[in-house]
Structure 1
Amino acid sequence: MLVVAIASLAGFLGLAGVAATKHLSDLDLLARTLVHLARNPLLDPAMNGISGLGENYGLVPLIALGVAALWPRSRRWALALPLLMAGTGVLQLGAKWAVDRPRPNLAAGGFPSGHVLSLVVFFGLAIYLLHGSTRPRRQRWLGSAGAAAIVLAVAFSRLYLEAHWLSDVAGGFALGIAYLLPAICLVEWVAGHADGAREASAQNLTLTLPTTNGPEPTLIRLASRSE
């Protein structure tokens, strides 16, 4: 997992270095040309709607639904989800400020795509938790495919709406993966240590119970581990 995160970070840094020069690759220009061929006024409302999932008015309900769904099953991840998503906001603001590349529509803050970054983290975590669940295999794979399709649809919508170049979208994917995977490892590591501490406390639990062998109560140690 960490190897993939390191590779993703290296990819992001490479893309950021090129983007900082304000250089546009042939792939950026080709992607824009191809997307223009697919433009149709009938698609505009759908593209705006899909893109809205990455806006604050789309992300906040998604996070709230995620917390509500996770709370009965895993309070650890229900509490971690809002923190992880807040981190994506900090990351994208810092990266946009550092790179400062214009969008295709000439607005500021093109690299990386914050929409893609945020949704890669949200739905990437959903895929991770889904595959760690006890749901039937078919449901896990269908859910994962659906989550991936949503992220790809939002990525395409950002190109369609001329909000980003292809390399901006790729940067959002790379940074999202580079951030999500170590975050998952950290949460699992902290949770593992917390569980270990609770088990150690339970094993050393001492209860005071009254006995009938004398006037004073006797301390009886209840050991839950074999000697």
Structure 2
Amino acid sequence: MDRVEIRYDKRSAAGAALLGLTLLGAVLVAIHPGPFQVDSAVLHGLIGTRSPALTGIVDDVSRLLSPVAMAGWTALIVVALIVRDRSVRRALPVAGAVAIAAGLDTMIKLAVTRPRPPAVLQVGSPESTYSYPSGHVCGTTVLVMTLLAVTVAGLPRARALAATVLAVAVIVLCAWTRLYLGAHWLSDVTGGALLGLSAALAVPPLLDVVLRRVGERIDVKGLL
């Protein structure tokens, strides 16, 4: 077994473990759909930090990190990678991970059917769709972390570290906006982050193996 295959196994195992945690959370939420004590504590703590001016800004940021916006950002990034690389080698894992995470997010939401926090606790644009896991956080996490995974390998260590810190900061910002607006409980955004990260870890190495196997059988060197 070569080094690439070992890395693939480790990342897949980590992705599977995180997916397992997400599903465990889904089971717990299905059994107890109401907020946990920490959920209520965090949301009520953030209510005291709200102001009309800040709420408007946070609502705008949240819209920029919504699942619909993430689909648009993903399309732009995929096109940019294809044009830059003249290959789908890096673009396909990004598109695949985002699509798979979005599908899993929808399925878990429909299975758990957890209600959102009460409308009286929400500000900005109130939401009433299912709450666990957070689609905003899932989509943001899978996109930034998958993009990081396919680009950071060729960067100097300092730039790679800076890119990693920036990616984590974007995820934290997204989670905070959802909590600030009262659109989700803490456990919802945690589940979204775990689900997005699980796809970001597992899908790129899996697709890399698939692409290499396809390349061995079909003459697609111009694409790969």
What range is the shorter-chain TM-score in?
Answer: 0.7 to 0.9
2:69 to 58, 61, 65: 58
Separation (CA, whole Å) in 1 of partners of 2:202 and 2:71? 23
Aligned counterparts of 2:38 and 2:189: Cα–Cα separation in 1:
12
User: Quick one: distance in 1 between partners of 2:184 and 2:77?
Assistant: 27
Aligned mates of 1:56, 1:2 — CA distance in 2: 24
Query: How far is the alpha carbon of 1:173 from its aligned partner?
Result: 1.1
- 1:113-124 alignment runs, 5 A limit: 113-124=134-145
1:82 aligns to what?
95
Identify the residue that residue 5 of structure 2 maps to in structure 1: none
The corresponding residue for 2:14 is 4
Task: Identify the structure with bigger relative contact order (alpha carbons < 8 Å, sequence gap 6+).
Answer: 2
Give the aligned partner of residue 103 of structure 1. 116
Moved more, 104-113 or 118-127: 104-113
Tell me how far 1:3 sits from its aligned partner: 2.9
Structure 2 unaligned residues grouped into runs of 5+: 1-10, 120-127
Correspondences of 1:200-215 after superposition (within 5 Å):
none
Q: 1:57 to 1:13 in 2, by over 3 A?
A: closer
Kindly provide the CA deviation profile for residues 3-44 of structure 1, in whole angstroms up to 9, marking residues without a partner as x.
Answer: 322321221122111211213211111111221122122211
Task: Give the equivalent residue in structure 2 for 1:178.
Answer: 198
Same amino acid, percent of matched pairs: 29
Cα gap change, 1:194/1:132 in structure 2, threshold over 3 Å: closer, same or farther? farther
Structure with bigger helix share is: 2
Aligned to 2:158: 138
What corresponds to 1:225 in structure 2? none
TM-score of the two chains, using structure 1 as the length reference: 0.79
SS in 1 for 2:89: helix
> Which runs of 5 or more structure 1 residues have no equivalent in the other structure?
202-227
Question: Once the two structures are superposed, what CA deviation does each residue of 1:177-218 show, in whole Å capped at 9, x if it has no partner?
Answer: 22232212211111232444479x9xxxxxxxxxxxxxxxxx
Question: Which of these residues, 9, 23, 28, is aligned with residue 18 of structure 1?
Answer: 28
What RMSD in Å do the two structures reach over aligned CA positions? 2.1
- Check the 8 A contact 1:53/1:154 in 2, yes or no: no
Q: Which residue of 2 aligns with 1:162?
A: 182
Larger-Rg structure: 1
